[in-house]
Amino acid sequence: MNEHESPFATADAVARNLIPLLFAIGFVVLGTLPYQIPLLGPVFPAMTLVVVYFWSIYRPELLPPAAVFLLGFFQDVLSGAPLGLSSFVLLLVHWVVVHQRRVFIGKAFWISWAGFGLVAIGAAFVSWSIASIFHGTFVAPGAIFTQLLLTIAIYPGISWVFSAAEKIIPHHE
Amino acid sequence: MRATGDRVERFTLPFKVVGQRVTLIFLLVLSAAFLIIGKANPPLMEGLRTSVIAATAPVLEVLSRPVSTLNYLVTESRDLFSLHEENLRLKEENARLLQWQTVARRLEQETSEFRELLNIKEDPKSNFNSARVIGDTGGPFVHTLLMNAGHKDGVRKGQAVVNGKGLVGRVVATGTSSSRVLLLTDLNSRIPVLVEQSRYRAALTGDNTEYPQLSFLPLNGKVAPGDRIITSGHGGLLPPGLPIGVVRSVEGDDIRIQPFVERDRVEFVSAINFDRPHPFDEEIKTPAVKPVVAPDETPAEAPAVKQEGTP
């Protein structure tokens, strides 16, 4: 990077670097709006999972652990879920994916989709277990299962948008 | 310049990696700590939550408007196709309701005469705050709504929340100008109820499924699909007589209720400010909290009660 950049170029670069975080926050807010679609409420896809998975593979430096934590926190606050639940699960996902990112980079799309499926299943199981322990009862797993399927189903669309966005973010290497 | 940068990077990289890992572990532990603190000391975490929601509520409020306009347009255009049938159905319903009105007038007259004869103590009066639903919080673990009225509007924790069809839930947390409503279907929802016809007492227990469960029915108590369930007012927190739903299925002990309120159709709600008759209020506190006695009104003036069609 050239250090004689104009302030505008710097601001532009900063704004582009914020894209993943803005996507993430936007998705949390969108997920909270009252859509009057029957039965959608409890099974609204876990968009933050897609956000954390995608950016942890392709540009982990843009979504550091602190950002992941804040994202999960924000989601729990709005949804009314036990505080710390989403942060914990998303951080775990971030950790696992950052360590395995070489498996996905430069590979066919279906490999990252399959990887997402596995991660989503793991995340659903962990969050269901934590919620069950937290409430001291067996939480009905039906909604979580439907949410899981929906989340896996929307992954291709969202990751396509992210791929397009990723191209306009400057590389630091 | 580039070479120096590389050398510096080669030197700092291991520290960066270790630093990132330490941060990650620290944050994981922090999340777990939040969970444990939230379980051990809920008010502490609720305070944190309320302040973040207060900051987000205006954004949600603005964004919820186009969403509701969109919903409106979709419903309107769908209704255009069924205007004729709808008209016929309404005419029929109107004829039936007119008969009910006659019955209701006569009964109202009789009841007020009986009340006068018996000199019965009236239920306390209640008023309500109406608000827009600005958030239907997604997620499989909690069933709550956010509404844009809060502490400064007179909404208090514990108040019943209704819409035109019946009980939606109750307020669990209030911010300055927004509150969270726990729906009947949530895992943590427990509502004292009555079976309307037989007057059996029971509890309505949410379990995160669509149809909450009717539990603690007396041993000899029997219900059948179609029986109406209303709030009992026991515990003094909710006004009595708010419609909740009908019995959907009875399978041994597993009795399921179909709520009147459809979660995805809730756009406006009212929180009922119910001056509850607390046995100790008058002894402990000043007369200011004495229940206000209404001269000649039904328990709650909420629209929900007005719409209750059957006598």
| Structural domain contains residue A158 | yes
| Structural domain contains residue B228 | yes
CA B56 – CA B148 distance, rounded (Å): 11
Q: Give how many domains chain A has, as a whole number.
A: 1
Residue B107: what pLDDT? 92
Q: Range of A138's domain?
A: 7-166
Q: Range of B221's domain?
A: 121-306
For residues B205-214, average pLDDT: 89
CATH number, domain with residue B252: 2.40.10.340
> pLDDT-based confidence at B311, cuts 50/70/90?
very low
Q: In this structure, are residues B178 and B57 in contact, taking their beta carbons and an 8 Å threshold?
A: yes
CA B251 – CA B194 distance, rounded (Å): 19
| Structural domain contains residue B45 | no
Per CB-CB distance under 8 Å, the chain A contacts of B145 are 34
Chain A residue nearest residue B29, CA to CA: A88
CA B161 – CA A142 distance, rounded (Å): 27
Residue B297: what pLDDT? 42
Residue B276: what pLDDT? 59
CA B311 – CA B185 distance, rounded (Å): 27
> pLDDT-based confidence at B302, cuts 50/70/90?
very low
Question: How many pairs of residues across A and B have Cβ atoms under 8 Å apart?
Answer: 164
Provide the percentage of residues in chain B whose pLDDT is more than 90: 23
Cβ separation of A77 and B144 shorter than 8 Å?
A: no
Range name among B70-74, B129-133, B230-234 with the lowest pLDDT average: B70-74
Cβ separation of A66 and B27 shorter than 8 Å?
A: yes
Residues of chain A with pLDDT under 50: 1-2, 173
Q: In this structure, are residues B245 and B206 in contact, taking their beta carbons and an 8 Å threshold?
A: no
Residue B283: what pLDDT? 46
Please identify among residues 146-205 of chain B the ones whose CB lies closer than 8 Å to any CB of chain A: 146, 180, 187-188
| Structural domain contains residue A171 | no
Average confidence score pLDDT of chain B: 80
CA A24 – CA A75 distance, rounded (Å): 10
Q: pLDDT tens-digit profile of A2-42? A: 455 677 777 777 777 788 888 888 888 888 887 777 677 67
What 3-state class would DSSP assign to B99? helix
CA A53 – CA A72 distance, rounded (Å): 13
Residue B228: what pLDDT? 92
Please identify among residues 127-146 of chain A the ones whose CB lies closer than 8 Å to any CB of chain B: 127-128, 130-131, 134-135, 137, 139-140, 142-144, 146
Residue B120: what pLDDT? 76
Q: Give how many domains chain B has, as a whole number.
A: 1
| Structural domain contains residue B95 | no
Locate tokens 């969108």: which residue?
A30
Q: In this structure, are residues B224 and B195 in contact, taking their beta carbons and an 8 Å threshold?
A: no
CA B202 – CA B193 distance, rounded (Å): 5
Residue B300: what pLDDT? 42
A59 and chain B: CB distance < 8 Å anywhere? no
| Structural domain contains residue B302 | yes
**CA A43, A47, A52, A54: dihedral to nearest 10 degrees?**
120
Whether pLDDT at B299 is above 50: no
- Predicted TM-score (pTM) of this structure: 0.74
| Structural domain contains residue B233 | yes
DSSP code at position B125: P
| Structural domain contains residue B49 | no
| Structural domain contains residue B171 | yes
- Shortest CA distance to B182 belongs to which of B271, B243, B99? B271
Q: pLDDT tens-digit profile of B244-269? A: 999 999 988 889 999 999 887 888 89
Q: pLDDT tens-digit profile of B19-53? A: 778 888 999 999 998 888 888 887 878 878 888 88
Q: In this structure, are residues B157 and B169 in contact, taking their beta carbons and an 8 Å threshold?
A: no
| Structural domain contains residue A173 | no
Mutate to test the interface with A, among B51, B137, B184, B258 (most CBs of A within 10 A): B137
Whether pLDDT at B295 is above 50: no
A96 and chain B: CB distance < 8 Å anywhere? no
> pLDDT-based confidence at B123, cuts 50/70/90?
low
Per CB-CB distance under 8 Å, the chain A contacts of B143 are 41-42
Rounded to the nearest angstrom, the minimum Cα separation between B267 and chain A is 8
| Structural domain contains residue B55 | no
Rounded to the nearest angstrom, the minimum Cα separation between B139 and chain A is 5
Helix%, strand%, coil% for chain A, nearest 5: 75, 0, 25
